Amino acid sequence: MDWSPAGVPGQNGRTALVTGGSGGLGLEVARVLAERGAHVVLACRSTARGRAAAARVGGRTEVVHLDLASLDSVRRAADEVRRRHERLDVLVNNAGVMFPSRARTEDGFEPHFGVNHLGHFALTGLLLDLMRRVPGSRVVTVSSLAHRAGRGATDEAGARSTTGHRSLTAYGRSKLANLMFARELQRRLAGSGAVTLSVAAHPGLSATALWQGEAPGWLRPVSRVALRLLAQSPERAAWPVLRAATDPLLPGGVYLGPGERFESRGTPAPAASSRASRDALAQVRLWELSEALTGVHYGPPASRTGTDGPPARAGG
């Protein structure tokens, strides 16, 4: 079914936090949510860029400093949001890095895994009690087509590696972790009786600032051709994320992406995902590793069985 931002219902009375909201997909998501009446919190590494973005977004928009490469910064940002707000309706885990120059985060993690996954895992855990009892609330985690290139999402050595941080494999591992996290979070939310849903989305191909990192040499000509032939604008690439954040009919655990041209472009539709991303036991291992690495604990898990299927009962 065709979908566009025209289908986004009114967001009056709702509060949405978008990480990486100062540009690219995050800015487009924030702009539409604000236009529909949401109070939007832009969580950005650069508060100057965040304020400039807030001026562009308009409406009721505020800025919180957030550096996902620092767990201390994540905790401070979560504390600030909790001071300002009693509830949160939408959390969009959008910010990310690709082929960064630095080899590790402040906490010693491989930067893709540390920023794209662990930072968002920690932020979500620290804010989730603002959402659990809010009707219609949801956590949206942005993954990528590149999750199919990911391996070793549950490997602690990979999480702490200081080599290969400019590789597609490292980026893919972090986006695989994003998708696995979104699915395990949904199982735990459903099992705990929370009304909050966890969903995921990917934007397909879009020529955003994310591609300005130092890609491996062999990937540069490939990416230029792919972006020229298949990419869509950031405005269109944001559609799957917007639908994931606002469509009241979506079930928990859904994964959306562009529905045409190898999922690189088109209107939002259910997306395919790798077998690794659907491995329920691996999702549990990733969850346990993420809690250990971040020190953020969502709650004790309950027993579960199976590798893929209906949500298993779990505490959270």
pLDDT at 225: 47
252/48 Cα distance (integer angstroms): 35
Cα end-to-end span (Å), the chain: 34
* Catalytic residue ranges: 171
Q: How far is CA 248 from the centre of its chain?
A: 19
Which segments in the chain show pLDDT lower than 70? 1, 165, 207-231, 300-316
User: What is the Cα–Cα distance from 193 to 250, expressed in whole angstroms?
Assistant: 18
Residue 194's alpha-carbon distances to 71, 168, 186, 212, in angstroms, are 26, 36, 10, 39
| Residue 220 neighbours by CB distance under 10 Å | 12
For 6-26, b/e burial (b = at least 16 CB within 10 A) is: eebeebeebbbbbbbbbbbbb
Residue 210, pLDDT score: 46
Smallest CA-to-CA distance from 57 within 80, 91, 94, 26 is with 26
Please name every residue paired with 90 in a beta bridge, in sequence order, or none if there are none: 16, 138
How far is 12 from 154, CA to CA, in rounded Å? 40
Q: DSSP letters of 85-125?
A: -S--SEEEE----SS-SSSS-TTS--HIIIIIIIIHHHHHH
Quote the tokens at residue 3: 């979908």
